[in-house]
Structure formats: structure tokens, C-alpha cells
A and B are shown apart, each in its own frame.
Chain A
Amino acid sequence: MMGPFKLAAAAALLWAGLASAQELAPVPQARPEAPPAIRPLVQAAPVPDWLTYGYDQQRIAWNRGETVLNTKNVAKLKLLWSSQVTSAAKPLLLSTLTAPIVVAGVSTPQGVKDLVYTVTIEDTLVALDAATGEILWKKSYPNAITPLREASISCSNTEQATPVADKKNGVLYFTTSDGKLRSVSLGDGADRMTPHQMVQPFSRNWSLNLVDNVVYTTAGRGCGGSVEQPTEFGTVAAVDVTDPAHPELSRFYTGKGRPGGPWGGGGVVAGPEGLYVATADGPNNPGGGVYGDMVLAVRPHAWGLNNSFTPPNWRTLLARDLDLGSGGPLIFQFGNRTLLATAAKESVVYLLDANNLGGLDHQTPLYMSPRLGNDIEDFQAKGVWGGMASWLSDDGSRYLYIPVWGPPRKDGPKYPFGYGDAPDGSVMAYKIVADGDQLSMSPVWRSRNLNIPSPPVVANGVVYVLQTAESSYQTPKGPDGKRLLFDQVAVIRTTPHSTMSLFALDARTGKELWSSGKAMGGNMVHFTEPVVALGRLFAVDHAGHVWAFGLKK
């Protein structure tokens, strides 16, 4: 019940309100949004290993811990070994093995070893001795589920996501084609967590990233499906593995069917506003939960959206099938800014403030390059189809290395260093330049012809790139000019279009320092990256080989 004090207080307050009715203070501004906080990028300490796609959480593809290979000795690289870990390759399934993961000093039953990990299209995880190529152990996870759709080149119904190693805890995380996240001991493959559904069965999910006890992946293309969700939505998936016995899944959907899915072989990229992804074509409708042709900063744990960038010409990208997601972002520090760089089929490089993507209208980049390739705006076989790499030289210059499929733009930037025509593809090198508050990219060199270049990697002043030899035309025509059958296309796609070769290029000039020549001739590979770690260079191919090059003693 109301006491006498309450009554008195209420009366006093009422009186005060009436008496002062003419003395109104100004109405405060209605809850303005706080300005974006500037958060410096937190990078992991350099390690000589290669624990995740693109080396680190930011997919910078620069092995900052490599101490063996350099511009002076890289010319002495020789084939150390090659090991065929599966013979299950099929023409229709472009990627037979995931990109290598390399971990130094793993305790195994056979002693301490440097190991290379890859997952095959048969859902077999393989651990190889990095020194000899000997298979130390392998473990299979057969998928008994019947896929909802027949396999196709775009949706192979097989596992293709590169795992991530948690070296501190001695664990490798990977997904299998049943859509489950699994973890095993680095040393012997013993199961370390309860397998947990992360994406749909037969998902086309991209590489895993590990950030603060949460494993992330992305899924696009609508390949995966189940009875509950026949066409997997564009997805950023997060599994909290703090309690390995009870992992917790959360998801953020970027679309409602196939369109608008995250793309980029690297999966999510960690930055100051969460996890960054670039998406494929699709309606651009943030108010409707469909985020086509955008860069998204998804909140940690995939608990919503933090920020986004939509290229001003997104309607053109959508109409011409120039998916903004085909390359994938990387993030790095530049002065007091944290930058996100991304490029895609259109061959335009965007530099964005990772703390404030696109500014107030989500459409204003810090810098937008001219078109660097793909003059004919083809949706296939031209432009950027894999991640870039970035390197900070000893003199403080920040380089960006861009893999471009097809010829450079005819009226494009002039490169101080060039190495002949590059009709099939090249790596283009730029320095990022600050001019007051403005940023720009200054062309430095363009590589020799590369048919078709993989995402490059860099270490100690050397850029490594793989000429993948893949036939990148998705809709090739037969000799009679007619369209081909799926089976015929599949054979063409996996028939080497040139000699699959690794190249070592001077990071400052693009000069060729070494190549693997014909060592891998007759092979090809799709959507992979070379890996430089522990003084060696690793690559995989479609036939199921793992290749290792190093300095022979």
C-alpha cells in the first residue's frame, strides 16, 4: 500500500512540475549514433607454419615467420617429394584436395615432425611428413547421406574447405561433406570434439578460420541442402568450440536461397568489426536480409551485421554476373588505418576502411582502382578469382599482389616493370600510397604470363604464384561453335591448359627468380593456393598429388 511518504513525495514532485512548466530545457538530441571507434588490428605473432588459408586470420598470405627461403636462395628450389594421397579425382569435381596446412614440430607417435594436412574429396584427412611426403596417418569420415542434387562443376557434393590448425591446443579443425565440423589431434588424428553440424550436407563451404575459440566458415552457391533446407542459404557459420564436448553453432544468413552467398576461397576474414566476407550476385536488400554483391562485416559469433559496403555499380555487377565475392577480402594495417582490400571479376580493387566500410552511405571506398583487366566484362575466366596477398617491405612499403585472370586492361595502368604479354593472366603488384588523407595504388610491376594464376603468397621478399593450368571457361564451346555437354565441359575444365608450374618472383620487381618448370606438367588445379612454410613450398593438384619443393642439402 502507498505510505504517507510516497504521497507527500508525489505531491511535491507534481507541484514542481506544474510550477516550472515554462522553464523547459532544450530537448536533447535523439540518441545519435556514436562515431565509429578506431580499433587497431590485432595480428597473431609471426610463425613459420601455415596454419590457416592465407596464412593468418586476415588472409594476408604473407608468411611473416618464414626464415629460410629468400630472394638469394630461392633459385635453388628443387622438387623434394610428391605424394599422391588419393586416386579418386573426377573430371566433374574440380578440387580434389584442400590447400595445404603446415604445422611445425607436431608430437606424433613417431616423434616430433613437421606435418602437412589436406582433406580429400572422399572425406579423408591426410597428414604427411613435410620432410618426406610419407603419409603419417589418415582418417576417413564416409558420408552416408544421399545428396539432393547430382554433382556438378559448381556443386561437387564433396568437401573443399581448407582446415585450420589450432597449434596451441594441438588440434586441427575441418569440415566433411556431411556438413559437420570435426577436430582431431594434430599428432595422431584422434577425435577431439563431438562432430557438430556446421553447414548443410554437401555444402560448398569455404576455408575455416579460427578466432577466439570460434571456428568460422562460409557457404555459398546453394549447393548444400537437406530436407529442412533444400537449398542452403548464403551462410556465415560460427561454432564455438570452447567446450569441445558441446560445440555451439550460430549462423548469419546472407540470402534466402542461392543468390547473395559469401564467396572467396578464404572464407571469413577477421578484422576490427568482426568477420568480413564478400558476396556473390544477388538482390541487394539489407532490409530484407539479402546481401548480394557486398562486403559484409558480420558480428563475432555471426550474431548479426556490423557494417557493409556496396559498390556503387552493384546493379551492373549483378546484371553481368560479375560477383563481388569471387576474389575475397584481406585486411592489413596501413599507417594508423586498418584497410580492407577486395577485388573480383570486374578487376577493380577497392580499399576500404575496415573500421567504417563505405562510410555513411556504405558506398564510399577510400580508394577504387581503375579496371585492371577483364575489358570485355566477361563473367567467366577473366578478372580476380582468388585472394590477393600483401607484404610490408623492410623499408615500410606496403605492397598488394593481385592475381588477374586473362589479359590486363588495354588502357590500364602502366607498370614500371613488365615481363612480356600476359594474355592468360598475371600477378599485378602495387604499392599503396598515402597522400594526406587520400589513398591510392601505384603500379609497380606485372608478372609474366600465367595461365591461370592462383592466389599468390609472399615471404621474405619473394612472391610465389602457381600457374594452375586450369581451363577457366565455364561455358566453352566445341570446335563447331556449339555448346558442349556437361561431361565434355568437365573433361575440358580438368584437362591442363598449360604446364602447371610454381613461380618465385621478386616481390619488388616481379622478376622471375625460379620456376618449377615441368616438374608438375600434366596436372592442373582449381581454387587453391601455394603455401610457403618451414623453408618449403607446397601445392596440391587435381590428380591428388601433394607437391613439396625445397632447398636440397
Chain B
Amino acid sequence: MGLLLTLPALAQDEDARPPRRSVPPPPLAVMPAVPDWLTWGYDQQRTGWNRGETVLDRKNVSRLKLVWSTKVSTPPVNTSLSTLTSPIVVQGVATAEGPKDLVYVVGIDDTVFALDANNGKVVWQKTFPNPGPPPRRPSVNCADTEQATPVADKTNGILYLTTGDGKLRGLALGDGSEKAAPTQMVAPFSRNWSLNLVGNIVYTAAGRGCGGDKEQPVEPGTVAAMDISDPAHPKLQRFYTGKNRPAGPWSAGGPVLGPQGLYVTTADGPNNPGGGVYGNMLLAVRPGATGLNDSFLPPNWRVLNARDLDFGSGGPTIFNFGARTLVATAAKEGVVYLLDANNLGGFDHAKALYASPRLGNDDATYWGHGVWGGMATYQTPEGDRWLYVPMWGPPAKDGPKYPLSYGDAPDGSIMAFKIEADGDGVKMDPAWISRDLNPSAPPAVANGVVYALQAAEHTSQHPNNPEGHGRSLDGKPPPTEDQLGIYRTTAAAPMTLFALDSQTGKVLWSSGKTMDGQTAHFTEPVVALGKLFVVDHNAHVWAFGLRK
């Protein structure tokens, strides 16, 4: 004691000035490379890059063959565009029959399947019937079914998943026995997105206002965090991004881990941070969903909102680039934003480090064009950082010129860019545009190979009057949701996997017509353990590999 009291030592705002950063933030810590695929997008940052894959490469990928396909017992439903969640692949799981490499998917009937990655046999399955009546009739937007990709905690041998009743469950990887008390995480019948595991907290995000119950008939946009430190008593925290349907987090990858917490992009809605409604934004939600840490608002958000160009349709991916940690995000508008993950949008939350020209969706339609799934990123052994952008519909007529291209791409493509330093800033240099992909799922990358799925789904949300959001036309009743579902899941092209050279975009391999007649929606191909996995609407799990 005995310190000299100096003004304003007792003032409340003595440190009210913005925090000064004398030391640049450290680079983002990423988990060690593993050959498994434990979560959507491979890792907590949703890079889509399997850094631990050691089998498949540019030299042998052309020898990929169908290893197996299994149709699991989940019956497809027309309005549920995604019958199975994307594959999760875990190596060396201890099962009753010995250690196995397993593939996990969850069906829309709330059944979890564990398949042998080597032969496709169902090792175990477990069903969690959802007893509740849904708040609304199913539609293609709100299927009333589970569609969130689980996450595997390999260290503790647990698969975390949500079911249609909105509960988080934890099952033993080896036999499906319950390892955590089922606990309400989102509203029943929620349209929640993929799970992410960070420390002892499982995250998901819910949008579209699909879920609901008596207390909360329309689930507000939600980032939900479940602390599973005590599996017998998981503890829930939520951060709401809206007050009902608008402004919910979107993107199949769910929350993405970065230096300021969990990053999500949101759908259309009012932009009113002072009112707790965060439409068309990129948000950095605090760890544990205990509030907001930072945000980015695209300068043209009013246009996005007016034209239904939801900023959340793609979803972010986060990676280190030089001394910076970058967030890349893109959406229906077809513009890629690169942001400083430690300081989103700068002082006014509206300045990007780089905004690309429009890469697609020249007509600015809300349907069938632009970016509707996560990008992938890859760093070559030489240190070049690549970004792979899945584009629906044709590239922009006045867009960048790609040094390498492979014919017209009217239905979709992968666009590859190198990220370069540009003075203090960053920029994206176009490298190649892929062959036509009708349409392109989020790509995955490993060992210099980009894997792309031509999902074959009809992406026009309303075949009859899309610009009118499906409103009925004179003398013609609008299609029913069932008819819409049939249309959407009727193959528009052969569903096909492609392996592309990550530096040139050249086709190294395709699955040809193996999966012809199938479609897939909002899924991703998975490369792990020397194999390539994908699911489809008819409840198939497909595996391609190098036959011995």
C-alpha cells in the first residue's frame, strides 16, 4: 500500500480506450495432421484439407475404383434432400470384432450407422426415434429431419451427434453405447448444421427457423455450445443471432474455430447488432457462445438482403497466411472475402482485407448460382496457399481470366486461386477453373489432389417461377413440397466424383457413371485413409480406393 493516488485511478473508464496491440497475435494453432476425417471439413477450421492423407496422390489417384457401396436402411423422403449426413471416418476403432476403420453417418430416421471402411458392412447401428410432432409440415427447406454431420472425439472414443429431437448424444465409437446424457441442444426438428468439437465443448449452429416447440415455436438463429466436461450432466449455453427465422447462421460446416472464437456467417435478415439481430454478417462468437467478439458486415448488405443473397450460404474457412490468420468466406453473390481473423472488418466492421470481383452469379439470383458450400484451402510443400471455390452456375462473364480452363462450365465449377501478399494486403490470383460440374459440392483436398463432387441435384429451388420464390402462377397451383422434393432430387446429371490436379485443375480421375442416377445435397466428399467416401439421397454410402 501507500501508492500515490493519481487521476483517474478510480475512474471507471481508465482503460476505456480500444485495446492496443503491441505484439501481433500468434498464428492460429491447428490440430496435428491425422489421416482420419473426424469432423466436417476435416478440421475445426473447415479447411477441407486432409493434411494426414498419405496414400492417395497425383500419381496413383487415376487408379481409383469403386471399393464398395452400401445402401443403409434409412428410407429416403422426398422433402429431405439430405438423407444421410456427410461421412466421418475414424481409423483403428476398437470394436467387438477387433480394431476397424469405421465410417459414420446419421440417417434422417435418426439412425446412426457405423460401417466398416474396408468393406461397407454395417458394424453397428442405433436408432433414436423422435417422438415429438413437428411444429410445421416438412418442406425442402425444413425437412424436420436430422442433417447435422457428427464430430468424432477420437481421444476419448466418442461420436457426438444431434438427433431430430434436438438432443446432443455421445456414443462410443466402437459399439454405439451411450457415453453422455442426451441433452437438449437445439429445438426439436431444428435445421442445425454440422457439429464442431473444441476442447470440451460441442458446437452447432441452427438457422432457417425450422425447429420449434411450445415454448419457442420458431427457433431463433442460434449458436449452441454444449460443455461435455461432465458427460453425465452436459451444460448448454446459447447465443442467438436473431429473433425468429431471419439472420440465422448458415453453412453446412456449422461454427468454425478461429482466434476470436467460433465464426459463423448468417442468412438474410435485419442488420441490427444493437438489437441482437445479425443478418448477412460474419460473426466471431465468443468461446462457449458467451456473446460476440467481432463481426464483419459486407458493405452491400442491403442489396444482399433485398435480393435474398444470404451471406451465409457458403460458410467460412480459416487458415494461416504469413503472419496473418485469414478468414475466407463466399456466398450466393459469388464474391470471396478475405478477412483478418483477429480483426474482422476493421474499426467499422465493414472493411475486408480483400474482396474479389464477382466470380459467378451474374444475374444475382437467389437460387442455383453462386457459392453454396464451403471452400477448401491447401498449402503446397513450397508454401503456396491455394483456395478452391465451388461455384454453382456459370462463371462471371467479366470475371477473372483463368490461365487454365477446361471448357465451358455452365452448371458449375471449382475455381482455384493462389493467395498472394499484396503490400500490406492480400489478393487472390486466378489459377484455373475446372470442367463443368453440375453442380459443385464443397471440394476436399489432399496431397495435391482436389476432390470434387458433381452432386447432380436440381438447384433451382422452384422449377416453376423461381424468381417469384415459387409463388403460384395464374391458373396453376404451386407445386407441393413433395413435388419440389422430387424435382430437387431427380438427377440433373450423372452424380460423379472427380479428382483434379490441385495446381492445374486437370481431371486425373472420375467415377464415371458408377453413381449415375443419384443426387446429393449439401454434402462433401471425404478423403481419408487412402479412400474417397461420399453419400447420396438414396441412402448409399460409396467408397472408392486403390484395389490391391
Query: 8 Å CB contacts to B: which residues of A238-261?
Result: 246, 248-254, 256-259
Chain B residues near A7 (CB-CB < 8 A) = 490
Chain B residues near A14 (CB-CB < 8 A) = 463, 487
Among the listed B13, B17, B291, B476, which residue makes an inter-chain contact with A304, where contact means beta carbons less than 8 Å apart?
B291
Chain B binding surface, main DSSP class: loop
Chain B residues near A380 (CB-CB < 8 A) = 10
Chain A residues near B291 (CB-CB < 8 A) = 251-254, 289, 304
Stretch from A21-29, A77-85, A121-129, A130-138 contacting the other chain: A21-29
Among the listed A5, A253, A282, A306, which residue makes an inter-chain contact with B16, where contact means beta carbons less than 8 Å apart?
A282
Query: 8 Å CB contacts to B: which residues of A1-56?
Result: 1-2, 5-7, 9-10, 13-14, 16-17, 20, 23-28, 30-34
Stretch from B54-62, B119-127, B302-310, B325-333 contacting the other chain: B302-310
Chain A residues near B295 (CB-CB < 8 A) = 287-288
Q: Which of B237, B466, B471 lies at the interface centre, i.e. has the most chain A CB atoms within 10 A of its CB?
A: B237
For residue B278, which residue of chain A has the nearest CB? Answer: A287
B305 touches A30 (CB 8 A): yes
A280 CA to B13 CA in the complex, in Å? 8
Q: Could you tell me the distance in whole angstroms from the C-beta of B516 to the nearest C-beta in chain A? A: 10
For residue B238, which residue of chain A has the nearest CB? Answer: A303
A28 touches B469 (CB 8 A): yes
Taking A24-B465, A299-B240, A486-B1 as contacts, is the C-beta distance between A33 and B269 under 8 angstroms? yes
Stretch from B243-251, B388-396, B398-406 contacting the other chain: B243-251
Chain B residues near A437 (CB-CB < 8 A) = none
For residue A363, which residue of chain B has the nearest CB? Answer: B274
B464 touches A20 (CB 8 A): yes
Answer whether residue B22 sits at the interface, using C-beta atoms and an 8 A cutoff.
Answer: no
A17 touches B293 (CB 8 A): no
Among the listed A150, A288, A306, which residue makes an inter-chain contact with B276, where contact means beta carbons less than 8 Å apart?
A306
Among the listed A25, A153, A485, which residue makes an inter-chain contact with B471, where contact means beta carbons less than 8 Å apart?
A25
Chain A residues near B237 (CB-CB < 8 A) = 249-251, 303
A6 touches B239 (CB 8 A): no
Q: What are 19 A-B pairs with beta-carbon distances under 8 A?
A: A1-B517, A13-B483, A14-B463, A24-B465, A32-B270, A33-B243, A33-B246, A33-B269, A34-B244, A256-B293, A287-B292, A303-B289, A304-B291, A306-B243, A318-B16, A323-B12, A323-B13, A485-B1, A486-B1
Q: Please provide the 8 A-B residue pairs with the shortest distance between their CB atoms, ordered closest to farther.
A: A281-B13, A25-B468, A289-B292, A305-B276, A10-B490, A304-B240, A286-B273, A25-B471
B490 touches A2 (CB 8 A): yes
Answer whether residue A139 sits at the interface, using C-beta atoms and an 8 A cutoff.
Answer: no
Chain B residues near A326 (CB-CB < 8 A) = 12
Q: Which of A252, A254, A326, A380 lies at the interface centre, i.e. has the most chain B CB atoms within 10 A of its CB?
A: A252
Given A287-B292, A303-B238; 6 other pairs, CB 8 A cutoff: A10-B463, A20-B473, A259-B13, A306-B276, A321-B11, A486-B3
B268 touches A486 (CB 8 A): no
B275 touches A258 (CB 8 A): no
Q: Number of B interface residues, CB 8 Å?
A: 82
Answer whether residue B2 sits at the interface, using C-beta atoms and an 8 A cutoff.
Answer: yes
Taking A256-B19, A484-B5 as contacts, is the C-beta distance between A288 and B469 under 8 angstroms? no
Chain B residues near A5 (CB-CB < 8 A) = 486
A299 CA to B242 CA in the complex, in Å? 11
B308 touches A257 (CB 8 A): no
A1 CA to B468 CA in the complex, in Å? 31
For residue B261, which residue of chain A has the nearest CB? Answer: A289
Q: Could you tell me the distance in whole angstroms from the C-beta of B304 to the nearest C-beta in chain A? A: 9
Q: Which of A13, A259, A287, A489 lies at the interface centre, i.e. has the most chain B CB atoms within 10 A of its CB?
A: A287
Answer whether residue A170 sits at the interface, using C-beta atoms and an 8 A cutoff.
Answer: no
Q: Which of B463, B472, B479 lies at the interface centre, i.e. has the most chain A CB atoms within 10 A of its CB?
A: B463
Chain A residues near B269 (CB-CB < 8 A) = 31, 33
Q: Could you tell me the distance in whole angstroms from the C-beta of A131 to the nearest C-beta in chain B? A: 41
Chain B residues near A299 (CB-CB < 8 A) = 240, 276
Answer whether residue A307 sits at the interface, using C-beta atoms and an 8 A cutoff.
Answer: yes
Compute the total of residue contacts between A and B using a CB distance below 8 Å.
Answer: 217
Chain B residues near A305 (CB-CB < 8 A) = 273-276
B5 touches A486 (CB 8 A): yes
Among the listed B7, B244, B276, B491, which residue makes an inter-chain contact with A307, where contact means beta carbons less than 8 Å apart?
B276
Q: Could you tell me the distance in whole angstroms from the C-beta of B217 to the nearest C-beta in chain A? A: 13
Answer whether residue B384 sits at the interface, using C-beta atoms and an 8 A cutoff.
Answer: no
A28 touches B471 (CB 8 A): yes
A60 CA to B254 CA in the complex, in Å? 43
A308 touches B491 (CB 8 A): no
B1 touches A308 (CB 8 A): no
A283 touches B16 (CB 8 A): yes
Chain B residues near A421 (CB-CB < 8 A) = none
Answer whether residue B15 sits at the interface, using C-beta atoms and an 8 A cutoff.
Answer: yes
For residue B275, which residue of chain A has the nearest CB? Answer: A307
A24 touches B290 (CB 8 A): no
Chain B residues near A301 (CB-CB < 8 A) = 238
B463 touches A310 (CB 8 A): no
Answer whether residue A154 sits at the interface, using C-beta atoms and an 8 A cutoff.
Answer: yes
Q: Could you tell me the distance in whole angstroms from the C-beta of B50 to the nearest C-beta in chain A? A: 31
Answer whether residue A146 sits at the interface, using C-beta atoms and an 8 A cutoff.
Answer: no
- Chain A 262-293, CB-CB to B under 8 Å as 1, else 0, gives 01000000000000000011110011110010
Taking A16-B463, A27-B467 as contacts, is the C-beta distance between A287 and B273 under 8 angstroms? yes
A483 touches B469 (CB 8 A): no
Answer whether residue A487 sits at the interface, using C-beta atoms and an 8 A cutoff.
Answer: yes
Taking A9-B487, A34-B244, A282-B13 as contacts, is the C-beta distance between A288 and B293 under 8 angstroms? yes
For residue B241, which residue of chain A has the nearest CB? Answer: A304
Chain A residues near B275 (CB-CB < 8 A) = 305-308, 362
B16 touches A259 (CB 8 A): yes
A386 CA to B14 CA in the complex, in Å? 21
A282 CA to B274 CA in the complex, in Å? 15
Answer whether residue B277 sits at the interface, using C-beta atoms and an 8 A cutoff.
Answer: yes
Answer whether residue A397 sits at the interface, using C-beta atoms and an 8 A cutoff.
Answer: no
B5 touches A150 (CB 8 A): no
Answer whether residue B358 sits at the interface, using C-beta atoms and an 8 A cutoff.
Answer: no
A379 touches B463 (CB 8 A): no
B268 touches A475 (CB 8 A): no
A26 CA to B465 CA in the complex, in Å? 10
A207 CA to B484 CA in the complex, in Å? 55
Answer whether residue A221 sits at the interface, using C-beta atoms and an 8 A cutoff.
Answer: yes
Q: Could you tell me the distance in whole angstroms from the C-beta of A5 to the nearest C-beta in chain B? A: 8
Taking A33-B277, A283-B18, A318-B16 as contacts, is the C-beta distance between A24 and B463 under 8 angstroms? no
A288 touches B486 (CB 8 A): no
B476 touches A20 (CB 8 A): yes
Among the listed B290, B458, B473, B479, which residue makes an inter-chain contact with A25, where contact means beta carbons less than 8 Å apart?
B473
Answer whether residue B8 sits at the interface, using C-beta atoms and an 8 A cutoff.
Answer: yes
A321 touches B8 (CB 8 A): yes
A17 touches B274 (CB 8 A): no
B235 touches A379 (CB 8 A): no
